[in-house]
Amino acid sequence: MKRDKAIWITLLVLISAILLFILFRKENEKFKWYKTFESTTLHPYDFGVFEALIQKEGKNKFTSVKESLNQYLDTNKLGQTYLFAGNNCYLRATEIDSLLSFARVGNQLVFITEGIPEQLLTQALADEKIQLETYFQNKVSVSLNQSASLKFNGKNLFQFRSFNKDTSENTNWNYFHFPSNNLFFEYVQPQYDILGTVDSNVNFIKIYYGKGEIYVHSNPLLFTNYAMRNERGFDYVNQCLNSIQLSNVLFDYSARIYKKETDLLMKQSETPLSFILSKPALKWAWYLSLLSLILFLFFVIKRKQRKIPVLEQKKNTTMGFIETLSALNLSHDNSYQMAEQKMQLFLYFIRTKLGIATLDIQAEQVKHIAKKSKVNEKIVERIFDYYFQVIDYKKEKTDSTNLIELYNRINTFYKHYNNNQ
């Protein structure tokens, strides 16, 4: 038990040291190489460059929404664009209704996010089924649909870099899946246009809603500082914005903040595991937890049992018993009783070892004993002849000489028997 306890203490200290090393290493890093999605130009996966481009491209004013959204939405004004960019869009039910009313009168809604409220998509598509799916890849090819009058030619390759910035790493890429068994689309013109793809999967759509439009892009990673570091990435984002024709932008920061009441409204494309694996600290904690579990099972599944006590080897006290009994009989000068006991022990041996009945010893039994014991028949005959002719005949008059002779004859039988086995 002390050894097991020492092993577990050592493992705990080792795991704690590794975790502390990773966490302190992260704090000391100048750049965070994971999906931060913040409004700065500091980290690779922030939106600082993108937001600067919006303010440059957008016509008229740029408004930051950091409080209650509803007070910024004016359905009496046209030519406005609501824009959200982030990991998940946390909107309340009342805010979703206000946004749809905002779009219905002729304004635009733009969502660049991995998680969009399911209620919003359902109402915007008039209950048509659309699913947000996820796959994992480190390098993808993105393109814009030429039929959508977009000027972005060819494809743009994007490679996701991990937090150590020197290696590529798989991350989640989201896309829209339209069930093929929906007969509605066979007879009715769809309410949306496909504007872009990622690895041939739809990731950018335009939904017609009332007099306005709703744009949804499922890969905000393509709008980050790192993605826009080169001309191709910058051109891709610029053409996406040109297709939307931004004006009077309401950039929503408040929807990035988690709200408990939005849980049931979210259409999460990201699974809990994919979220964990997307955060380096959580990912390493997950891997270390799995390693700890494996080590725990390795040491615990061994069969446990109490220590087996060391028992003293049993001693054969038969000879001691016989010597004591013999000394007792000798002290009483009872050679006949000793001879009888010796003969009874010999007959017991024949019954148990050879399996021969000894109730009535005849010539046939003597031959049978000699055959099974592999001892010369004469040796067996001499034992029984002496016993019946001397010991049994003299009875109480048996002396020590007769006892010794019987003992020697029986002992001769035992020696031959043991030698032949």
CATH (domain of 66): 3.40.50
Q: Pairing between strand 266-268 and 81-88?
A: unpaired
Report the C-alpha gap between 242 and 245 in whole angstroms.
Answer: 5
Please identify which residue in the block is written with the tokens 């390795």: 298
Are residues 257 and 301 both part of a single domain?
no
Angle formed at CA 348 by CA 344 and CA 354, multiple of 5 degrees: 140
pLDDT at residue 326, rounded to an integer: 61
Please identify which residue in the block is written with the tokens 């009989």: 329
Are residues 23 and 54 both part of a single domain?
no
Mean pLDDT across 285-312 = 72
Please name every residue paired with 88 in a beta bridge, in sequence order, or none if there are none.
115
Are residues 199 and 247 both part of a single domain?
yes
Please report which confidence band the pLDDT of residue 157 belongs to, taking 50, 70 and 90 as the band edges.
low
CA distances from 144 to 52, 166, 227, 235, 339 (A): 22, 29, 16, 11, 116
The DSSP H or E segment spanning 59 is: strand 59-65
Mean pLDDT across 56-65 = 77
Are residues 169 and 283 both part of a single domain?
no
Mapped onto helix, strand or coil, the DSSP state of residue 174 is: strand
Contacts of 82 (CB under 8 A, 6+ apart): 73, 99, 102, 103, 107, 108, 109, 110, 250, 252
Please report which confidence band the pLDDT of residue 171 belongs to, taking 50, 70 and 90 as the band edges.
confident
Mean pLDDT across 297-316 = 66
Are residues 345 and 363 both part of a single domain?
yes
Mean pLDDT across 379-390 = 86
362/334: higher pLDDT: 362
Are residues 111 and 176 both part of a single domain?
yes
180/10: higher pLDDT: 10
The DSSP H or E segment spanning 238 is: helix 231-244
The count of structural domains within the chain is 3
Are residues 113 and 202 both part of a single domain?
yes
Q: Is the dihedral of CA 197, 140, 246, 36 positive or negative?
A: positive
pLDDT tens by residue, 187-229: 445 678 889 999 889 999 999 998 999 999 999 999 998 888 8
Report the C-alpha gap between 50 and 87 in whole angstroms.
Answer: 15
Q: Is the dihedral of CA 53, 57, 58, 61 positive or negative?
A: positive
Please give the model's pTM, rounded to 2 decimal places. Answer: 0.57
Mean pLDDT across 374-378 = 88
pLDDT at residue 84, rounded to an integer: 94
Are residues 176 and 187 both part of a single domain?
yes
Report the C-alpha gap between 417 and 407 in whole angstroms.
Answer: 15
Domain range for 5 is 1-34+279-310
Are residues 381 and 300 both part of a single domain?
no
* One-letter amino acid for residue 368 of the chain: H
Q: pLDDT at residue 235 above 90?
A: no
pLDDT at residue 404, rounded to an integer: 84
Please report which confidence band the pLDDT of residue 121 belongs to, taking 50, 70 and 90 as the band edges.
confident
Are residues 362 and 246 both part of a single domain?
no
Are residues 267 and 287 both part of a single domain?
no
Are residues 363 and 407 both part of a single domain?
yes
Contacts of 26 (CB under 8 A, 6+ apart): 32, 163, 280, 281
